[in-house]
Amino acid sequence: MDSDWIEPLKEAVEQGQRAYQTAHRLETSLARHKALEDEVRQQKATLKGIENKRDELVASARRKISVDEARVIIIDRLEKLLLATYQGYLRAEQRACIKAVENLWSKYAVTAREIEAERDQASQQLQAFLVELGYE
């Protein structure tokens, strides 16, 4: 009779151990999740504080600056942004031009020595023809 209960008890113990291990893993995961949630809350509070400080600084700056000064600063910033954008486009076009010239150079580049060598060869060939024709 004892043998009929031993196997089901062993299986029940193993199931209990697996359930305990699963519960332990879930508890660890839940604790990590809770810590992350706490960190998110803290970061949100910090962000809110920074935003409030920014708003205070903007309001303070608005009180200190006149409309004409603001206009000058805004125009200066827009000018810098426009120049930076223009320079970016200009650099891109310069790179494209340089690439095109390098491509042409690699296709059609002929050194003076190569031209002189071809000239000398043609001159020798002409001299040989003149000799054959009896002109020299």
- Asked whether residue 7 carries a pLDDT value surpassing 70, the answer given is yes
Nearest to 49 by CA among 60, 64, 41: 41
Please name the amino acid found at residue 81.
L
pLDDT confidence of 125, banded at 50, 70, 90?
Answer: very high
> Is the pTM for the entire model greater than 0.75?
no
pLDDT at 6: 83
pLDDT at 52: 95
Burial 76-110 (b: 16+ CB within 10 A, else e): eeeeeeeeeeeeeeeeeeeeeeeeeeeeeeeeeee
pLDDT confidence of 2, banded at 50, 70, 90?
Answer: low
